[in-house]
Chain A
Amino acid sequence: MTALAVEALTAGYDRSTVLSGIDLSVPTGGALGLLGRNGVGKSTLVMTLMGLVSPTSGRVLLDGRDVAGLRPDLIARAGVAIVPQGRRIWASLSVAETLALATRGHGRRWTVDTVLDLLPRLRERLGQQAGQLSGGEQQMLAIARALLTDPALLLLDEPSDGLAPAIVDQISQLLTTLRGEGVTLLLVEQDLHLAFAVCDRIAVMEKGRIVHEVTTAEFRADRATAHRLLGVA
């Protein structure tokens, strides 16, 4: 089964094409790590998959159903959720309000209670305004918000960005737990350790294209390629 199959997807903004023919697929329950230098179009890809950037051509198949060009709320209802770059939590809402709002009742796997069991820090912050949380807590809230929509496919865009190593470890464990629950993951990351710990395959983007895709073990073994594509050892 293929949870997500992207075929020849192109997209961009008013005057610029950013994605020039993306092909990738993630099997149900799989986790694909998406790496690449700044500005190559990783966030644009994630936003296009969520329907927040309109594709100009190509297909986005969820369990075989093409959702390319649908409104984001319909894509959400089709089982996709996003933890966007920069978290984008609703700063003026309390944690409890955010969680209540995200519980849309079109799924039953995650409830506020089970999500809070997974993210106990948030339980102590329920009455607090989201904008007043620490960076790590905001990231947890963004993840909780996404989970409560009961996604089959979770898109995460640099969830470790700006967080202390201890928090990144927690996120790593959390994502591993989610994989155990059968959630399919597409994880954009700069933190290679996090991507390696969570994902079974690694893809690399360059200028709007996927230029390399291998298993995590193969990627780790081939330092020369990693260095060439990412400028890291």
Chain B
Amino acid sequence: MTGWVAANLISVLNGLAIGALLFVLAVGLSLVFGMMDVLNLAHGALFVVGAYVAAALTGGSASWGAFLGALGLAAVIGLLAGGLLSVMTEPLRRRSHLDQALLTLGVALIVAELLQILFGDDPLAVPAPPGLDGSTSIFGAAYPTYRLVLIGVGAVLAVGVWLLVERTTLGALVRATVADRDMVAAIGVDNRRVKITVFALGSLLATVAGVLGGPVYGASVGLDSTVLILALVVVVIGGLGSVRGALVGALVIGQIESLGRALLPDLASFVLFGALALVLVVRPRGLFGGRSGATA
């Protein structure tokens, strides 16, 4: 087993990097869906907006100032876009999930179109900041330094989000809203304010993930659906509205993606959706899903 892992170390590390990024991306999607039943299909577009912000600000030449500036700008854009999406979906609250999903899908298509007009069809590269663009030797194998940093940053963000949701009053409010939002309203809290807060923070994480993923995936218009599907698979596997579920789901999917591509390149997406189908059959509410608060 150890020998096998050593041999596939690169693939495992790649999986961790993908997993870290996927968690940052998926946790907002999961919380908004779990809390308010809003399936935000524009979530992938937010990621790509972050990637283009990074490509535009770095302009192909590596600099820390541009990279950190891109993180800051993407964060602000994410906050505003999330708030806007939350307000936009509000009038459809009493309609079906499909109506809200279609609205966000429309937003995703418009954003993709705008990005194409602004930046053209060709994928743009995002250089890693200076000092992180080389490679590091791990057990004799050269591995891109930036991806190692990405794993670390992803881990820090994951711990931060976990602490926020599991250890603060705001987090308790979010978990209560996931469990039973009517009862949250009944203690005097306006559900819409919780929704807008989570939507804004979740979207911030998505655009930030886009910047962080830039040096690995670059910026291209087709990226948004790929990323959205991966995030949706993570959410479904982990269970709606569960931070722990999003973390485990992201790590699992990260490994499946990476190992799948390394070992069975032609079958990688079969493996991905096979895992999804398996989880849905065995645990329809996901590994950590299930609302028990509302039952008698």
Interface residues of A (CB under 8 A from B): 50-52, 71-73, 76-77, 81-82, 84-93, 97-98, 100-102, 104, 106, 130-131, 145-146, 148-149, 161-162
Task: Take A88-B293, A91-B179, A131-B293 as given contacts and tell me if A101 and B185 are in contact as well, using a CB distance cutoff of 8 Å.
Answer: no
Interface size class of B (residues with CB under 8 A): 20 to 34
Residues of B within 8 A of A50 (CB): 186
Q: Is the interface of B mostly helix, strand, loop or mixed?
A: helix
Q: Are B183 and A84 in contact (CB under 8 A)?
A: yes
Task: Take A72-B182, A85-B296 as given contacts and tell me if A93 and B187 are in contact as well, using a CB distance cutoff of 8 Å.
Answer: no
Q: Are A88 and B294 in contact (CB under 8 A)?
A: yes
Distance between Cα atoms of A102 and B175 in the complex (Å): 13
Given contacts A85-B296, A86-B294, A93-B172, could you give 12 more A-B pairs where the C-beta distance is less than 8 Å? A52-B182, A72-B185, A73-B188, A73-B190, A81-B187, A89-B293, A90-B176, A91-B179, A100-B169, A104-B189, A148-B187, A149-B188
Interface residues of B in 174-198 (CB under 8 A from A): 175-176, 178-180, 182-183, 185-191
Distance between Cα atoms of A51 and B175 in the complex (Å): 22
Task: Take A73-B185, A88-B180 as given contacts and tell me if A101 and B169 are in contact as well, using a CB distance cutoff of 8 Å.
Answer: yes
Quick one: which of B188, B292, B295 has the most chain A CB within 10 A?
B188
| Contact bitstring B280-296, A, C-beta under 8 A = 1, else 0 | 00000000000111111
Selected contact of B189 from candidates A73, A81, A85, CB within 8 Å: A73
Q: Are B189 and A100 in contact (CB under 8 A)?
A: no
Give 21 A-B contacts (CB < 8 Å), ordered by A residue: A73-B190, A73-B191, A76-B187, A88-B180, A88-B182, A88-B294, A89-B183, A90-B183, A91-B291, A91-B293, A92-B175, A92-B179, A93-B179, A101-B172, A101-B176, A104-B187, A104-B188, A104-B189, A106-B188, A131-B292, A149-B188
Task: Take A93-B179, A100-B169 as given contacts and tell me if A87 and B187 are in contact as well, using a CB distance cutoff of 8 Å.
Answer: no
B173 at the interface (CB under 8 A from A): yes
CB-based nearest A residue for B167:
A97
Residues of B within 8 A of A130 (CB): 293
Task: Take A76-B187, A76-B188, A102-B187 as given contacts and tell me if A86 and B296 are in contact as well, using a CB distance cutoff of 8 Å.
Answer: yes
Q: Please give the distance in Å from A159's CB to the nearest CB on chain B.
A: 12
Enumerate the 9 nearest inter-chain pairs by beta-carbon distance, A residue then B residue, closest first.
A86-B296, A76-B188, A72-B185, A91-B292, A90-B179, A90-B176, A91-B293, A97-B172, A73-B190
CB-based nearest A residue for B169:
A100
Task: Take A86-B295, A89-B293 as given contacts and tell me if A52 and B185 are in contact as well, using a CB distance cutoff of 8 Å.
Answer: yes
Residues of A within 8 A of B186 (CB): 50, 52, 72-73, 76, 81-82, 84
Q: Please give the distance in Å from B289's CB to the nearest CB on chain A.
A: 11
Residues of B within 8 A of A92 (CB): 175, 178-179, 292-293
Q: Are A90 and B293 in contact (CB under 8 A)?
A: yes
Residues of A within 8 A of B183 (CB): 84, 88-90, 145
CB-based nearest A residue for B189:
A73
Distance between Cα atoms of A128 and B206 in the complex (Å): 33
Residues of A within 8 A of B179 (CB): 90-93
Distance between Cα atoms of A169 and B295 in the complex (Å): 24
Q: Please give the distance in Å from B144's CB to the nearest CB on chain A.
A: 39
CB-based nearest B residue for A131:
B292
Distance between Cα atoms of A131 and B172 in the complex (Å): 14
Distance between Cα atoms of A6 and B294 in the complex (Å): 27
Q: Are B296 and A90 in contact (CB under 8 A)?
A: no
CB-based nearest A residue for B190:
A73
Residues of B within 8 A of A148 (CB): 187
Q: Are B188 and A93 in contact (CB under 8 A)?
A: no
Residues of A within 8 A of B191 (CB): 73
Q: Please give the distance in Å from B53's CB to the nearest CB on chain A.
A: 35
Q: Please give the distance in Å from B238's CB to the nearest CB on chain A.
A: 14
Distance between Cα atoms of A50 and B176 in the complex (Å): 18
Distance between Cα atoms of A145 and B179 in the complex (Å): 15
Residues of B within 8 A of A87 (CB): 296
Residues of A within 8 A of B291 (CB): 91
Distance between Cα atoms of A88 and B186 in the complex (Å): 11
Selected contact of A77 from candidates B173, B178, B188, B293, CB within 8 Å: B188
Residues of A within 8 A of B176 (CB): 90, 93, 97-98, 101
Q: Please give the distance in Å from B176's CB to the nearest CB on chain A.
A: 4
Distance between Cα atoms of A106 and B189 in the complex (Å): 11
Q: Please give the distance in Å from A49's CB to the nearest CB on chain B.
A: 11
Distance between Cα atoms of A73 and B181 in the complex (Å): 11
Quick one: which of A52, A73, A98, A148 has the most chain B CB within 10 A?
A73
Selected contact of A90 from candidates B180, B185, B188, B189, CB within 8 Å: B180
Distance between Cα atoms of A90 and B292 in the complex (Å): 8
Q: Please give the distance in Å from A162's CB to the nearest CB on chain B.
A: 8
